[in-house]
Amino acid sequence: MDGGAAATAQSYRIETAGRVSRAAVIVAFVSLLVLVLLPVFAGRNVIQDLIFLFYMLALAQCWNLLAGYAGLISVGQQAFVGLGGYLLFALTLLGGINPLLAIPLAGLVSAALALPTALIVFRLRGAYFAIGTWVVAEVYRLVFAQLKALGGGTGTSLSPSVTSAVPGIEWIKAMLDVRTPAARDIASYWLALVLMIATLALLYLILRSRRGLALGAIRDHEDAAAGLGVDIVRTKLVVYVVVAAMTGMIGGLIYLQKARISPDAAFSVLDWTAYVIFMTVIGGIGTLEGPAIGAIIFYLMQRYLADFGAWYLILLGTLGIVVMLFAPKGLWGLIAERYDLTFFPTRRRLVEGKTGHDTVSISEQL
Amino acid sequence: MTGWLDALIEGVLLGGLYALFAAGLSLIFGVMRLVNLAHGDLIVLAAFVILVVADRLGLNPFVAVVIAFPILFAIGFALQHVLLNRTLGPDLLPPLLVTFGLSIIIQNGLLQLFSADSQRLRSGAIETASIPLGAGIAVGVVPLLTLLSAIAVIVVLNLIFYRTLIGRAFRATSDDLEVAQLMGIDHRRIFATAMGLAFVVAAIAALYLGLRANFDPTIGPARLLYAFEAVIIGGLGSFWGTLAGGIILGLAQTIGARIDPEWQILSGHLAFLAVLVIRPRGLFPRALD
């Protein structure tokens, strides 16, 4: 400066989308259309498999937001899957509410219960938070096992009148010329698709927002983020409650589709947390693309290897450990690093270029 | 009245078992800040090792556990050296995920080897022996031995930590890893030794687990939760606190069970959550973190 060097003003703009991601928008739109229309020409097995894939992916994205972005490593998300499932059963069986309405209500109640839960588990930090959430999930399981109105320890089933009460089932039967059970699956399929897309959209919007920037800052360096004025506890609390609401709704949908619930299954740490964590980590935690890849890999493993029982789980555990040790960013991390790809751009990049209306001008002092 | 007194005594003795579950977890956390999600499954693994040694050599479990010590120490040492040391660092996820994976691998490995059948360690007359205390109250010999062993384990762990060279190295790596390394401590060996020691403690816990009740490959995670609750109730970083935490948990469970048998586990968890709300750092905290 005092050397008399001229300050060369150079303009930069902040970009999120790249060329690939713009192309991806078109691809995503077309695939979405195909997925919506799929029940017209796909068989019942495909539909059932995709329901499973959709809700596992939605759960994985929820956990991803929690652990990958907010640094809240929970091994107790089965608390909210089970809660959502049981709330759906309580609202429909005991309250006579239509299942389609019961799902968002289950989400609301899950969020309401997540607040006091958070006040307790947020007292634990790091790894202790993880086990604390697991204890809370056990408390929920043991409490629901006491509720005789919902079958106590052995659980209960939804009556066909409830499962058929989802609006549109008659319409599906007439339009696609299928029987009631198949029509129910198709209704669940669309619900699962909506929830999956909603989860993805929610994550994407959160991450693109101001709060998302705060989350990224927390993920990268919590102390520095606090120093820059990010309200850490508040941000984490919001994420915890939002994720609980989504997870509760997904749980409601899962058990509407299963039509049978028991405390051990609904609050299973293996089904609703271990699988979800492995999917997210194998695919790539802290990205939106990773869990999708993880979910597809998990679905294929589940389909072709689940018959091997214990060996399949040993393989899954080993794969998770190997990925964590040798490719901590997961499979998507490997691909993205190699080809510089991103389909769901949430990172802001500084790009040299002409000044436009959405650009930031930074004068660089030489 | 006798019933309640019985429940109190039973609770304290049960607390001895939980303190044994928790001592290994407390040790590992104290030395290397590692929270081992596979701890419960490791205790179950140790119980199966004792079972195999006792069966194959026709030994009493109390003798078999002594033979199991070096085997388990070696497994623990190797596990830490080969696998877990790689996961330690500022990032929390790797140790959690790797130990979570280990938990699933151990559970299913045991399921594959030993099936889901319930097992039990047999030691003859001592299993059912009891000492009458008068007024219709009697104390089982095995539960009493459990509590005494828990106290002995904690005395020995404190001696190791504060009276030996390796204990000094444990404390040094715990206090300041970088400075300890500068002083010529090979922290990876120290961590591996600590894990080996934790496995030996787990073997003692497993002995009493197998003598008191049936066990099968799936019961590990519940033991992890009890161990964890005892550590948090007692406060991090103090072995005596861990013993107190175990006893409080045992009391909460037996008192709950006395009110309604179905409330045993739930009341333990609720006591833990209550402590967390009232005294988040535990009742007898020592370490900051």
- Whether B210 and B61 have beta carbons less than 8 Å apart is answered as yes
Contact A135 B109 (CB under 8 A): no
Q: Which among A128, A277, A316 has CB closest to B97?
A: A277
Number of domains composing chain B: 1
Q: How many alpha carbons fall within 13 Å on the CB side of residue A321?
A: 21
Q: In this predicted structure, what is the pLDDT of residue A66?
A: 92
Give the position of tokens 């790596």: B173
- Among A199, A237, A268, A234, residue whose Cα is nearest residue A117: A237
Please indicate if any CB of chain A lies within 8 Å of the CB of B224: yes
Position A4 in a domain: no
> Which pLDDT does position A252 carry in this prediction?
95
* Rounded distance between C-alpha atoms, residue B174 and residue B166, angstroms: 12
The answer to whether residue B208 is domain-embedded is yes
CATH number at residue A30: 1.10.3470
Distances (CA, A) of A333 to A5, A34, A340, A342: 42, 28, 10, 10
Contact A265, A271 (CB under 8 A): yes
Q: In what helix (H) or strand (E) does residue A156 lie, and over which residues does it extend? A: strand A156-157
* Chain B contact probe: residue of A131, A134, A329 with most B CBs at under 10 A: A131
Task: Please name the member of A125, A130, A320 whose beta carbon is closest to the beta carbon of B101.
Answer: A320
- The verdict on residue A309 lying in a domain is yes
Band (pLDDT 50/70/90 cuts) for residue A347 is: low
From B108, B232, B269, residue closest to A313, measured CB to CB: B108
Q: Which of A73, A136, A270 sits opposite B96 (nearest CB)?
A: A73
Asked if A320 and B276 come within 8 Å (Cβ–Cβ), the reply is: no
Mutate to test the interface with A, among B21, B41, B91, B104 (most CBs of A within 10 A): B104
Interface membership of B83 toward A (CB under 8 Å): yes
Q: How far is B15 from chain A (nearest CA, A)?
A: 18
Q: Could you tell me the CA-to-CA distances from B154 to A291, A306, B42 in Å, in that order? A: 44, 44, 19
Disruptive mutation site among B108, B223, B262 for chain A (greatest number of A CBs within 10 Å): B108
C-alpha span between A280 and A157 (Å, rounded): 31
Q: What is the rounded average pLDDT of the residues B36-49?
A: 95
- Residue of chain B nearest A281, judged by CA positions: B97
Q: Give A269's contacts in chain B (Cβ within 8 Å).
A: 221
pLDDT tens track for A160-185: 888 888 888 888 888 887 888 888 88
Nearest to A287 by CA among A77, A26, A69: A69
Please tell me which of the candidates A120, A142, A281 has its beta carbon nearest to residue B97: A281
Mutate one of B26, B83, B84, B93 to test the A interface: name it (highest A CB count within 10 A): B93
Say how far apart CA A359 and CA A188 lie, in whole Å.
Answer: 44
B94 in contact with chain A, both atoms CB, cutoff 8 A: yes
What's the CA gap between B88 and B84, in Å, rounded?
7
- Token pair in block for residue B14: 């049960």
pLDDT over threshold 70, residue A15 = no
Task: Assess contact for B43 and B218: CB atoms under 8 A.
Answer: no
Average of per-residue pLDDT across B124-134: 81
Judging contacts by C-beta atoms under 8 Å, the chain A residues touching residue B93 are: 67, 73, 281, 285, 324, 328
Residue in chain A lying closest to B279 (CA): A123
Judged by CB atoms closer than 8 Å, whether chains meet at B37 and A75 is answered as yes
Point out the residue among A120, A142, A316 whose CB comes nearest to the CB of B277: A120
Residue B44 lies in a domain: yes
Quote the tokens at residue B35: 């929270």
User: Which DSSP string do the residues of A232-263 spell out, in sequence order?
Assistant: HHHHHHHHHHHHHHHHHHHHHHHHHHH-EE-H
The answer as to whether A2 is a domain residue is no
The span from the CA of A56 to the CA of A79, in Å, is 15
Q: What is the pLDDT of residues B140-180, one digit of tens each?
A: 899 999 999 999 999 999 999 899 988 888 888 888 888 88
- Across the interface, do A328 and B101 touch by the CB < 8 Å criterion? no
Residue B146 is assigned to a structural domain of this protein: yes
pLDDT at A6: 45
Name which residue leads in pLDDT, A218 or B264: B264
Tell me: pLDDT of A366 over 60.
no
The answer to whether A262 touches A157, Cβ cutoff 8 Å, is no
Asked if the model's pLDDT at residue A16 lies above 80, the reply is no
Name residues whose C-beta falls within 8 Å of residue A3's C-beta, 6 or more positions apart in sequence: none
Is position B197 within any domain? yes
Question: What distance in Å separates the CA atoms of residue B49 and residue B75, rounded to the nearest whole number?
Answer: 11
Range in A207-211, A297-301, B74-78, B282-286 with the lowest mean pLDDT: B282-286
The answer to whether B37 contacts A310, with C-beta atoms less than 8 Å apart, is: no
Residues 6+ apart with CB under 8 A from B3: B258
CB-nearest partner of A128 from B35, B102, B273: B35
The percent of residues above 70 in pLDDT, for chain B, comes to 98
Query: How far out from the chain centre does Cα A309 lie?
Result: 26
Query: Looking at per-residue confidence, does A124 or B193 come out higher?
Result: B193
- Which residues, 6 or more positions from B186, have their beta carbon under 8 angstroms from its beta carbon? none
Question: For B197-229, what is each residue's pLDDT tens digit?
Answer: 999 999 999 999 999 999 999 999 999 999 999
Determine the distance in angstroms separating the CA of B64 from the nearest CA of chain A, rounded to an integer: 28
Q: What is the pLDDT of residue B100?
A: 93
Rounded to a whole number of angstroms, the distance from the CA of A208 to the nearest CA of chain B is 24
Query: Domain of B178?
Result: 2-115+140-278
Number of Cβ within 10 Å of residue B160's Cβ equals 17
Does residue B125 lie within any of the structural domains? no
Evaluate if residue A80 carries a pLDDT over 70: yes
Chain A, nearest residue to B261 by Cα: A146
Report the distance separating Cα A130 and Cα A300, nearest Å.
28
Query: What is residue A334's predicted lDDT score, i.e. its pLDDT?
Result: 86
- Average pLDDT for chain B: 90
Domain of B168, CATH number, reads 1.10.3470
**Is the Cα torsion angle B84, B99, A111, B271 positive or negative in sign?**
negative
Task: Provide the b/e sequence for B257-267 (b: ≥16 CB within 10 Å).
Answer: bbeeeebbbbb
Is residue B257 within 8 A of residue B263, CB to CB? The reply is: yes
Q: Mark which residues 111-170 of B lie under 8 Å from A by CB.
A: 111-112
pLDDT of the residue at B15: 95
Whether the per-residue pLDDT at A261 is higher than 80: the answer is yes
Q: Which domain holds residue A88?
A: 9-364
Per-residue pLDDT band for A28 (boundaries 50, 70, 90) equals confident
The residues of A whose Cβ lies within 8 A of any Cβ of B are: 67, 71, 73, 75, 119-120, 123-128, 130-132, 134-136, 138-139, 142-143, 145-146, 269-270, 274, 277-278, 281, 285, 309-311, 313-314, 316-318, 320-321, 324-325, 328
Residue B121 lies in a domain: no
Total domains in chain A come to 1
Pairing of strands A360-364, A349-352: unpaired
In a domain, A1, yes or no: no
Does residue A358 carry a pLDDT above 50?
Answer: no
Instruction: Average the pLDDT over each of A212-221, A309-318, B3-12, B68-77 and give the range with the smallest value.
Output: A212-221
The vertex-A37 CA angle with A33 and A39, nearest 5°, equals: 145
pLDDT at site A218: 80
CB contact under 8 A, A134 and B270: no
CB contact under 8 A, A73 and B111: no
